[in-house]
Structure 1
Amino acid sequence: MSFKSNVFLVFVALFLMSPMSFGQSDKLKRLEAQRLQKQKEIKELNALLFSDKKKQQSVVTQVENYNYKISVLQNLIKITNDQANQLTREINANQNEISSLREQLKELKEDYAAMIVKSYKSKSEQSKVMFLLSSENFKQAYKRLQYINQYKDYQKEQAEAIKTKTKTLQELNITLLKQKEQKQKLIEENRKAKQELEGEMKVQEKLMAEIRKSMSKHTAEITKKRQEADRIDKEINRLIKEAIAASNKEAGNSNSTGNFVLTPASKIIAASFEANKGKLGWPVERGVIKSKFGVQRSITDRSVTQNYEGIKIATEQKSQVKAVFNGEVSQVMVIKNANPAIMIRHGNYLTIYLNLSKVYVKKGDKITTGQAIGEVFTNKFTGETLVGFRVYKNDKKLNPEYWLTRN
C-alpha cells in the first residue's frame, strides 16, 4: 500500500465516521406544529360553538358555525396529508440510505478482514525490524517506520469506522420504524377526520336546505346585518379621526393629516407595540376566530360580500375582555343601536374591543397588558358570544390576526 493511497483510505474512513442526524426534518416539525394547532382549534370550537345543544341559535348562525368547523377540518386533513407525504419521502430516502450503509459496511468488513490477514502474516517484531534494517539509507528507514505506524493507525480507524457505521445503521433502522408508525397514525387520524367532515357537511346541507325554503327572509336578515355593520364601521372610523384630531390639538399641532403627532414617550410605546407583532395575547382567555378580516362572502348567499375591518372571536358567556398591550383608554365608544366598545391607544396604534355588555374603564385610564377592561355581550337570539377586535395604525385598519400570538 502506497503512502498516497493510505492517506486516501484514512480520509474515507474519517468521512464514514462523520456524525449523522436522524431527527425529524424541519419541514416535518413545521407540519406537526400546524397539525397540533388545528387539532387544538377544533377542540376549542367544539367547546365554544357545539357543546351546548340546547342553546337556541338561529339557522344562519348554525350554518356559519358548521362552515367554520368544516374549513378547519379541511385544513387539518390537508396538513395531515402533507405530513404523511413528507414522511413517505423521508422513509424512501432512509431506506435507500440503509441499503447504501449495508453495502459500505460489507466493504469495510471485507477490507478489514484482508488487512488483519495481512497483518497476521507479517506480525512478528523480527520481520518489522528486518524490514527497517534492510533500508538502503536512513531516509528510507524513516519512511518505512512512518508507513508501519500509519498502517497501525489505519487499522484502528478502520475498526472504529465499522463500529460507527454499524451504530449508524442501527439508529437509522429505529428511525425508519418510528417513521412508519407515525405515518400509520397519521393515516388513521385522517380517516377519522374525513368521517367527521362528511358528517358535518351533511348537517350543514340540511341547514342550508332549511334556509333555501325561506331564502328571501334570510337574505333580508343578512342584508340588514350588513347595513348595520357598515353603519357601525363608519361611526368607528369617524371616532378614530376625531380622536386623532383631538390628540394633535392637545399636542399643539392641529394641521396633521390623519396621523397622531407623537411625543418621545408615545414613540417608545408605538415602537414597543410594533415589536410585539405576532406576539400579542388574545383579548379573551378562550376563543376561536369566527369572522376574519377583509372581504368575505356570505355563507348562505354567495352573491353577498362584506368587508370586515376587524375579526370576531367566539368565546364563552361572561368572558372578560383583556387589553392586549399597555396603553391609554382613548374613548369608551357609545354607538347608536350597538353595544359599547373601547378604544385603547398605544402611541400611533389603536386597538378596539367591540360588543361589550360591561365596561370596567373610562377615558384617560392607563391600561396594562392583560388588564380586564370589560365583559363580552351574549346575543340571546343568535346564542352567540362574540367580541370584535380591531387594530389600526393611525386611521389605517390592519389585520388583527397578524398581531395576535397563535392561540
Structure 2
Amino acid sequence: MNTRSIVAAIFFAILSIPSLSFSQSSEQKALEAKRERLQNEIKEINRLLLSEKKERGNVLEQVEALDKKINVRQQLIRVTNQQSNLLNRQINANIRNISKLREDLKLLKDDYAKLIRKSYQNKTQNNRLMFLLSSESFFEAYKRFQYMKQYRDYRKGQGEKIVQKTDELVTLNRDLTEQRKVKEQLLAENVKVKNTLYREISSQKELLKTIRKNESKYAAAIDEKKKEARRIDREIERLIRSAIASSNKKTGKSSATRFVLTPEAKLVADNFSSNKGRLIWPVEKGIKSQGFGVYADKVYPGIKHQNNGVTIATDEGAKARAIFEGEVITIFTNKLGIKGVYVRHGNYISMYYNLSNVYVQKGDKVAVKEVLGDIYTNRFDGKTQLKFYLYEDTDRLNPEDWIYQL
C-alpha cells in the first residue's frame, strides 16, 4: 500500500467514527431519559399510592397500586437491558476502532521512519544543495525548491498525523474504560431492580391470598365500584347532552348529540384538535393510577372493569387546572358534596371530577393552566385523585392519546 492510499484510508476511518458515536450517544441519552422517567414514576407510586397512611386503605387498592409499580419496574428492567445492549455495541465498535487505529498508526510510523531515513541521507550527503545547483535554469531550480518544500511539509504532516492518531487512541481507550464501568453499573442496578421486583410480586401474592379469604367482601367492593362508576358515567353523559342541547337551542337547532359550531367555536375546536398528544396534564404533578378503557380485575382476571376516563393520583392540596382555553359550561355536585367541572373547547369537552372546592362559575372563560378547583382528599386512605374525562361532542375519547406522556 502506498503512502497516499494509507492517508486516504485513515481519513475516511476518522470521518466514520464521530457519526457512529453521535448516533449511539443520542440513543443512549433517549434511553437514559426514559429510565429516569420510570424511576421517578416508581417514586411517585410509592409516595402517592403506597405511603404508610395510604396502606391503611382497602387491600384491593394496595393490590392495584402494587400491580402498577410491578409493571413500571418491568419496563425499567427492559430499558436498562436496552441501555446495556447499546453499550455492548458501543464497546465492540470502540474495540474495532482501536484495532483499526493501531494498524493505521503502525503504517504511519513505518512510513514516517522511511521519510526520516531518506531525509537524513539527503542531509548528510549535501544532496539538497547539489540538487538545486544542478538545475539547468532558474525556473527548474524554483520547481526543485518547491518540490523540496512540499516534501518537508509532507514529512511535517506525517508527524502531526502520528500525534493525532496517538491522541485518538488514548481517548478511545479512556472511553472504553468508562463505557465498561457504566455497563457494570447498569447490570448491578438491574440485579437490584429484579430483586425488588421479586419481593413486590411476593407481596402482591400475599395480598391476593388475603383478599381471596374474604371473597364475599371483595365481591361486594367490586360491585360497589362498578355501580359508582356507572352512576358517574350516566351523570356525565346526561350533563353533556344537556349542555349541547342548551347551546344548540340558541342557534335554533335541537340536536343533543352534536354541537353546532360558530366560526369562533370552530377555531377553538381546530386549535384543540391540532394539539392532540401535546395537551398539558390537568394537574401540575401526579401519576396515572388507572388508565382508560376495559381492564382485567387484579384478583379475578375473568372480571372486567371499564374506565371511561383516567384517574390521576396527586398530592393533598393539589389543584385541577384547565388543559386548554375554553368556557365553563357545567358545574355539578353529587350527594356527598363531590364536585365536577365541565369545560368546553369548541365541540370538545374536558371534565374534571372529584373536586372539594370549585373556583369558577358557569359561563366563565378560562385560560390554559387556569385553576378550576381543589382536588378532594379521602380522609380514610389519604388518597388525592382526580378523575379526568375527555369527549368530542358525546363521543368518549382516550385522554392518554391527547395529554402529553399521560
Q: TM-score range by the shorter chain?
A: 0.7 to 0.9
Instruction: Please list the CA deviations of residues 22-54 of structure 1 after superposition, one character each: whole Å capped at 9, or x if unmatched.
Output: 465222111111100011111111111222347
Aligned to 2:206: 206
Q: 1:356 is paired with a residue of what secondary structure?
A: strand
Name the aligned partner's letter for residue 338 of structure 2: N
* Higher deviation after alignment, 108-117 or 272-281: 272-281
**Structure 2 counterparts to residues 2-401 of structure 1, below 5 A:** 8=5, 11-12=8-9, 14-15=11-12, 18=15, 20-21=17-18, 22=21, 25-53=25-53, 56-123=56-123, 127-128=127-128, 130-131=130-131, 147-250=147-250, 252=251, 254=253, 258-334=257-333, 339-381=338-380, 383-401=382-400
* Residues 144 and 294 of structure 1: CA distance in aligned 2, closer, same or farther (over 3 Å): farther
Q: Distance in 2 between matches of 1:100 and 1:295?
A: 56
Paired residue total: 403
Unaligned runs of 5+ in 1: none
Instruction: Please list the CA deviations of residues 46-73 of structure 1 after superposition, one character each: whole Å capped at 9, or x if unmatched.
Output: 1112223476301111111111111111
* Cα drift, residue 174 of structure 1: 1.9
Q: Percent same amino acid at aligned positions?
A: 45
* Cα drift, residue 172 of structure 1: 1.4
Assess if the C-alpha contact under 8 Å between 1:253 and 1:261 holds in 2.
no
Name the aligned partner's letter for residue 388 of structure 1: K
Name the aligned partner's letter for residue 217 of structure 2: K
* Cα drift, residue 353 of structure 1: 0.7
* Residues 133 and 323 of structure 1: CA distance in aligned 2, closer, same or farther (over 3 Å): same
- TM-score, structure 1 as length reference: 0.88
Q: Distance in 2 between matches of 1:197 and 1:10?
A: 54
Q: Distance in 2 between matches of 1:373 and 1:178?
A: 50
* Higher deviation after alignment, 215-224 or 291-300: 215-224
Unaligned runs of 5+ in 2: none
Q: Which has the higher contact order (CA 8 A, sep 6+)?
A: 1
Q: Distance in 2 between matches of 1:281 and 1:394?
A: 21
* Cα drift, residue 377 of structure 1: 2.1
* Residues 147 and 6 of structure 1: CA distance in aligned 2, closer, same or farther (over 3 Å): farther
Q: Distance in 2 between matches of 1:7 and 1:388?
A: 71
* Cα drift, residue 108 of structure 1: 1.0
* Cα drift, residue 329 of structure 1: 0.5
Assess if the C-alpha contact under 8 Å between 1:17 and 1:161 holds in 2.
no
* Residues 399 and 171 of structure 1: CA distance in aligned 2, closer, same or farther (over 3 Å): farther
Instruction: Please list the CA deviations of residues 169-218 of structure 1 after superposition, one character each: whole Å capped at 9, or x if unmatched.
Output: 22212221221111122122222212221221222111100111122331
Q: 2:110 is paired with a residue of what secondary structure?
A: helix
Name the aligned partner's letter for residue 361 of structure 1: V
Q: Distance in 2 between matches of 1:272 and 1:27?
A: 32
* Cα drift, residue 272 of structure 1: 3.4
- TM-score, structure 2 as length reference: 0.88
Q: Distance in 2 between matches of 1:255 and 1:124?
A: 108
Q: Distance in 2 between matches of 1:221 and 1:10?
A: 77
